[in-house]
């Protein structure tokens, strides 16, 4: 009697294990039908992608594009959309969203837009001389804070694209900023 009970118990354990396995496999198959991007279906994500392509004027069927490029870009887009949704689901101080770079991998974006120089070729900044040129004068009333945007000293952030000349634009901005302060503090006094 004891052996028949243990064989029934063992059979029950085996059957239950098989049921758990079948249910978990079915659940995995169901979630694979979803795109994996949040709870959106593949069709929903494709619709978002197609709208994004139109909005940003993307074209993947030119002569320079390889066969299957649109599909490859869609896969990258899905990964970026997944990152955006996961990031925004967390309690963070900022949100991220789709922009014109959503079809680029991190590596592509870095190589196209971050530029930089070869390792070891960056120049070291020279040490600045300590000066009291901008120190406040005696009895000069200074504000607690200054919004330089309202003063016209800085402008909005600009997309410089992939021209590789960002350092020139940076220098031009610094020269313009220097002139702004020169005229603001010395010529208008």
pLDDT per residue over 166-182, tens digit each? 667 777 777 877 777 77
Query: In this structure, what is the dihedral angle of CA atoms 38, 35, 75, 60, given to the nearest 10 degrees?
Result: -110
pLDDT higher at 77 or 4 = 77
For residue 44 the two structure tokens come to 């929903």
pLDDT number for residue 64: 56
Q: Does 104 have pLDDT greater than 90?
A: yes
Assess contact for 115 and 166: CB atoms under 8 A. yes
pLDDT number for residue 36: 45
pTM value surpassing 0.75:
no
Q: Please list the residues that pair with 34 across neighbouring strands.
A: 41
pLDDT number for residue 175: 81
What average pLDDT does the segment 48-74 reach? Answer: 84
Nearest-10 crossing angle of helices 42-55, 69-89: 100
pLDDT higher at 185 or 146 = 146
Q: How confident is the model at residue 73 (pLDDT cuts 50, 70, 90)?
A: very high
Listed as own residue / partner, the contacts of 181-188 with beta carbons closer than 8 Å and 24 or more positions apart are: 181/153, 184/151, 184/153
Q: How confident is the model at residue 48 (pLDDT cuts 50, 70, 90)?
A: very high
pLDDT number for residue 29: 43
Determine what percent of the chain falls in helix, strand and coil, rounding each to the nearest 5. 55, 0, 45
For residue 55 the two structure tokens come to 């909005």
pLDDT number for residue 15: 59
Q: How confident is the model at residue 37 (pLDDT cuts 50, 70, 90)?
A: low
pLDDT higher at 115 or 188 = 115
What is the percent of the chain where pLDDT is above 90?
23
Residue with tokens 């009697």: 1
Assess contact for 154 and 177: CB atoms under 8 A. yes
């Amino acid at each position: 009697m004891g052996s028949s009970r243990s064989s029934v118990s063992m059979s029950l354990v085996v059957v239950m294990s098989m049921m758990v396995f079948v249910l978990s496999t079915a659940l995995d198959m169901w979630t694979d039908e979803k795109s994996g991007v949040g709870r959106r279906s593949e069709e929903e994500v494709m619709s978002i992608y197609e709208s994004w392509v139109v909005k940003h004027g993307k074209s993947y069927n030119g002569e320079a594009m390889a066969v299957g490029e649109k599909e490859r870009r869609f896969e990258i887009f899905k990964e970026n959309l997944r990152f955006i949704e996961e990031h925004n689901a967390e309690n963070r101080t900022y949100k991220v969203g789709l922009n014109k770079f959503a079809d680029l991998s991190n590596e592509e974006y870095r190589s196209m837009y971050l530029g930089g120089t070869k390792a070891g070729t960056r120049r070291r900044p020279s040490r600045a001389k300590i000066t009291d040129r901008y120190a406040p004068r005696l009895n000069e009333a200074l504000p607690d804070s200054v919004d330089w945007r309202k003063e016209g000293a800085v402008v909005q952030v600009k997309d410089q694209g992939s021209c590789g000349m960002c350092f020139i634009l940076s220098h031009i901005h610094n020269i313009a900023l220097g002139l702004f302060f020169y005229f603001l503090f010395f010529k208008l006094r």
